[in-house]
Amino acid sequence: MSRSAPLPHVVLVGGGFGGLYAARALGRRPVRVTLLDRRNYHLFQPLLYQVATAALNASDIALPLRSVLRKASNITVLLAEVSRVDLAGRRLVLDRGAIGYDALVLAAGASHSYFGHDEWEILAPGLKTLEDALEIRRRVLLAYEAAEREDDGAEQRALLTFVVIGGGPTGVELAGALGEISRQTIARDFRLIDPTKARIILLEGGPRILTAFPESLSRRAEDALRRIGVEVRTHAIVTRLTADAMWLGGEQIRARTVLWAAGVAAAPLARTLGVPLDPSGRVRVEPDLSIPGHPEAFVIGDMCAFLHQTGTPLPGVAPVAIQQGRAVADNVLRRLGGQPTRPFRYRDKGSMATIGRAAAVAVVGGWKLSGLVAWLTWLFVHIMFLIGFRNRFLVLFEWAWAYVTWHRGARLITGPWKGRA
Amino acid sequence: MSRSAPLPHVVLVGGGFGGLYAARALGRRPVRVTLLDRRNYHLFQPLLYQVATAALNASDIALPLRSVLRKASNITVLLAEVSRVDLAGRRLVLDRGAIGYDALVLAAGASHSYFGHDEWEILAPGLKTLEDALEIRRRVLLAYEAAEREDDGAEQRALLTFVVIGGGPTGVELAGALGEISRQTIARDFRLIDPTKARIILLEGGPRILTAFPESLSRRAEDALRRIGVEVRTHAIVTRLTADAMWLGGEQIRARTVLWAAGVAAAPLARTLGVPLDPSGRVRVEPDLSIPGHPEAFVIGDMCAFLHQTGTPLPGVAPVAIQQGRAVADNVLRRLGGQPTRPFRYRDKGSMATIGRAAAVAVVGGWKLSGLVAWLTWLFVHIMFLIGFRNRFLVLFEWAWAYVTWHRGARLITGPWKGRA
């Protein structure tokens, strides 16, 4: 145990990409590290939509933090919820008790933003956690089951209408997967309904989907979505939402299943800091990722607002969080060692979004890719990236199997049930 | 579609072993079949304890009923809950609507019995459903997490005490798996507690565990459990249970995690029949598995009380349900075809219980097996038995991987969380 008294204490909040990569970089270094997370696992969020659409198991994309960090004996993992940061007192107030620090790294991520319509959260679940993914899976599969039992034509139509709000990468991935489920996976499973007649609608408020990509790739993505049966609608702003319908201004769409992929807001923990935040609730950090006026406290990942050297804010994606996690570990060690910290610089290796089986768009090193080539690139990057051999192998196997058979292995509806017969 | 008018309508309630094997035997026969279940999947219950103890994923032991029965176009699967059976009117009242039948097979299984202490259900969850298994997993893993954060010695001790009530096969399997988790899987994952010091207690009310097995095998099972750190206590009757303690008469045991593997009662649906039930709520059926006075309605599996040709009641295990499922399909076709039905005869191929890695007891064809031989037999039988290639392969891989590494891949705590940080 490296708990000898003089070692400085570094506290990391959050075991996502940022926190985990910071922890790894601090393993076996001359610091005592405590990693706090509300969950006992690291989640590979880029594949979360595959859990939501029943292609992968929850445990295929999540690894217990204790296993990942087992060998770093200077790191203690605690399952805890942070209520408040006391920057002046250099301590965190937890759900139970408090914990002091010499250096702090906040990496608590982001959750959904419903743009002031918090009452929509229960009507249109978003996709950030494993529970979100299982809830979305449950709603989608139950909608087909209910449609099979429904006699009323209009109600059956509403049950077979699926709307995804938000045309960013998550919305595109979800809509693409929903299209494939309806057109392929369960196409022959029902006797009384025809799942291939299900209506899948992707709504985007702006002029095109995937606004972070070049316009030509947005168009290719739209084409690919349409080929698998997804209606793409741009300039579409949802003005009202109920349990069985939604409104785009005066137009009503009856739909029983609505999914949210539109807005993101930094973890509410940021608000307890008492420092300036950007409109999404993210902390505006110094070039070295520290909080202005608090050189011993750092914020990384989706929780921080950091301007790219080109002047645009860095997006909330895994590569940014990972690079910041490594950089912050270095800066923590520099600061504790009395050396000057270094400004963070993002090395952009590209971005990609997948649309379905064998279709994706990607920008890699200035190259614009689409179709099968982009999809194979996406597949390769994600598999290589998954942390831990077991996950890598299982995910590969599940995909290969799904590819050959069009089956989705994890097609189980779990969760609370009305009663016991 | 084989929905032409004159075909008789057979309704099956329940997609467990009994219902599923009956459905398979009725596929492509001259009947119209509707299979009703509250869940959309068939569950391989003999391995449910492996989900509870994080060795397997939920989807490794569950298959969507629609996939299993996809090719039998005369079978319609409906996700529905049956509220009541109207034997006189030959129809079932559902959660929504009703459905008539020409022949009926009830195979709704069993749930827990707390022997009049229904208030214990929330304190000591039992293991019958996937949700039960995930809840048990959650409680066990959270107990270790809470112990790691606990300063009070007595409370920490209570968090690290796990009690399993009931020394039948399920209780033995659960206790054995808990012992291995503590002694091996997570032994090196924590910094502040020593998981190998956790106390695991198996309580049995009778004079020995595994009463359905010969006495020599009960003793061997006890020895095997003790070797992996499980305390086995017989003649132990729980008289009181609270959230952090239990009483055996005057003796108190402080324990935060208590699991129930003691009593079983037939599905409450049996009570709506208005026919004689045995003390466990099971329907006393005729030799051909039909309900007395209702030759068109049959009950099979855990819901029926059937005397073995030796005079003892048949146990609630998969082989009985499977054989009854096949037999009942034959009797349904015979009856609809105007032929006399045939009495059911059980062919006992043996029974087995597993205790942990490489330890089990089994009685096969009069042979008493224990240790590695029994375990390999158990492993072989269960893997060969799993329905569907995918599950068979994945389960095998997960086990092999767990065997080599002592890891448990599915070690995720999911479920409701207190709030959002």
Q: pLDDT by residue (tens digit) across A10-51?
A: 999 999 999 999 999 999 999 999 999 999 999 988 888 888
**What's the gap in Å between the CA of B199 and the closest CA on chain A?**
21
Mutate to test the interface with B, among A139, A411, A418 (most CBs of B within 10 A): A411
CB contact under 8 A, A421 and B1: no
Confidence check: pLDDT of B187 > 90? no
Alpha-carbon distance of A146 to B286, in angstroms, equals 36
Chain A residues inside the 8 Å CB shell of B111 = 420
Nearest to B421 among A38, A40, A191 (CB): A38
Alpha-carbon distance of B281 to B266, in angstroms, equals 5
Catalytic residue, candidates B135, B173, B222, B398 = B173
Question: Is B131 considered catalytic here?
Answer: no
| Predicted confidence band of residue B419 (pLDDT cuts 50, 70, 90) | very low
With a pLDDT cut of 90, the percent of chain A lying above it is: 64
CB contact under 8 A, A40 and B269: no
> What is the average per-residue pLDDT within A116-123?
91
Confidence check: pLDDT of A418 > 80? no
The mean pLDDT value of chain A amounts to: 88
Q: Give the per-residue pLDDT at A1.
A: 43
ipTM metric = 0.78
> What is the average per-residue pLDDT within B229-250?
95
Chain B residues inside the 8 Å CB shell of A145 = 40, 78-79
With a pLDDT cut of 90, the percent of chain B lying above it is: 63
| Predicted confidence band of residue A394 (pLDDT cuts 50, 70, 90) | low
With a pLDDT cut of 70, the percent of chain A lying above it is: 90
Mutate to test the interface with A, among B63, B412, B417, B418 (most CBs of A within 10 A): B412
Provide the strand spans (E) within B249-323.
251-254, 257-260, 263-266, 283-284, 290-291, 294-299, 304-305
Chain B residues inside the 8 Å CB shell of A59 = 57, 409-412
Nearest to B412 among A59, A190, A414 (CB): A59
Nearest CA in chain A to B42: A412
Q: Let me know: does B11 contact B108? Beta carbons within 8 Å.
A: no
Confidence check: pLDDT of A182 > 60? yes
Which pairs from A366-369 meet CB under 8 Å and 24+ separation? Answer: A368/A214, A368/A216, A368/A217
| Predicted confidence band of residue A71 (pLDDT cuts 50, 70, 90) | confident
Active-site residue list of A: 173
Is the pTM above the cut of 0.90? no
Highest-scoring range by mean pLDDT, A347-361, B122-136, B231-245: B231-245
Q: Please give the backbone phi and psi of residue A399, each rounded to the nearest 5 degrees, phi first.
A: -65, -45
Q: B403 versus A127: which is more confidently predicted?
A: A127
Q: Give the per-residue pLDDT at A140.
A: 92
Q: Let me know: does B198 contact B177? Beta carbons within 8 Å.
A: no
CB contact under 8 A, B189 and A67: yes
Dihedral over Cα of B257, B263, B264, B269: its sign: negative
Residue that is written with structure tokens 């003089």 in the block: A6
> What is the average per-residue pLDDT within B250-268?
94
Nearest to B414 among A58, A148, A191 (CB): A58
Chain B residues inside the 8 Å CB shell of A77 = 191
CB contact under 8 A, A96 and B269: no
CB contact under 8 A, B79 and A401: no
Confidence check: pLDDT of A351 > 60? yes
> What is the average per-residue pLDDT within A338-364?
89
Tokens representing residue B266 in the block: 């037939």
Mutate to test the interface with B, among A2, A51, A59, A403 (most CBs of B within 10 A): A59
> What is the average per-residue pLDDT within B329-336?
98
| Predicted confidence band of residue B246 (pLDDT cuts 50, 70, 90) | very high
